[in-house]
Amino acid sequence: MHDNNLAQIWVYLSTSPLLGLTMTLIAYGLAYRLYVWARFNPLLNPVVTAVGLLIALLLLTKTPYRDYFAGGQFVHFLLGPATVALAIPLYRQFGKLKTLWLPVLVALLVGVTVGGASAVGIAWVLGADSQTLLSLAPKSVTAPVAMGIAERVGGIPSLTAVLVVMTGIVGAVFGTKLFDLMRIRDDSVRGIAMGVAAHGIGTARAFQVSAEMGAFAGLAMALSAFVASVLLPWLLGWMR
């Protein structure tokens, strides 16, 4: 009788968005606490830990991703208004941006091209198939835009979403270390590079470093979304 009740509760929970949403918040809460405890060591980026915890949980309970996403989509949805909200830090850094518009523009055009070409080039040399290549091309672009690009060029949008997140994690984990090694200290330069190469996850990391780096990363992410949605399909068509 008791087991039967538990089974019924599980049947209810596994089909309701409540569980997926709550688990997402709990996993992120734990991951974030670990990150704070480790004094913001970039290797313990909360996205990595939270994703790992959730995948382990879903595999253990044999829950399909689709059922999880029924709840996860409420968090995922907020990417839209959060993108709009980037106008605020952008507005606050507008004074500095006005003096830097030319270097920013050139860096964006080159950065977006290199972002697509380096991913496709490396994977092609190492023998990835064409669908993987086309899904990799927009990996540095913010998720909703990258998925749109993948769809248009013949990649797999859901694979692109994952590659985009993994790219963001690489940028967030290694970005600041790389800049230190290269002795690049200017937060506007670091922010622009982070936004072009590692979109929103890089931007989130940049905001932890400074408001200026975050604002420039957010700006670069938004502008490179524009540039990439025009440039990448054209480049890929030309490369064929």
Between 1 and 84, CB nearer to other proteins = 84
Between 7 and 38, CB nearer to other proteins = 38
CB of 97 to other proteins, least distance (A): 10
CB of 29 to other proteins, least distance (A): 9
Contact between residue 140 and residue 199 where contact means Cβ atoms under 8 Å apart: yes
Token pair in block for residue 134: 């086309």
Cα angle for residues 196, 200, 201 (degrees, 5° grid):
105
CB of 226 to other proteins, least distance (A): 5
Contact between residue 69 and residue 21 where contact means Cβ atoms under 8 Å apart: no
CA-to-CA distance for 187 and 192, rounded, in angstroms? 8
Between 13 and 144, CB nearer to other proteins = 144
Between 10 and 94, CB nearer to other proteins = 94
Report the Cα–Cα distance between both ends of the chain, in Å, rounded.
63
CB of 187 to other proteins, least distance (A): 11
DSSP 194-226: HHHHHHHHHHHHHHHH-HHHHHHHHHHHHHHHH
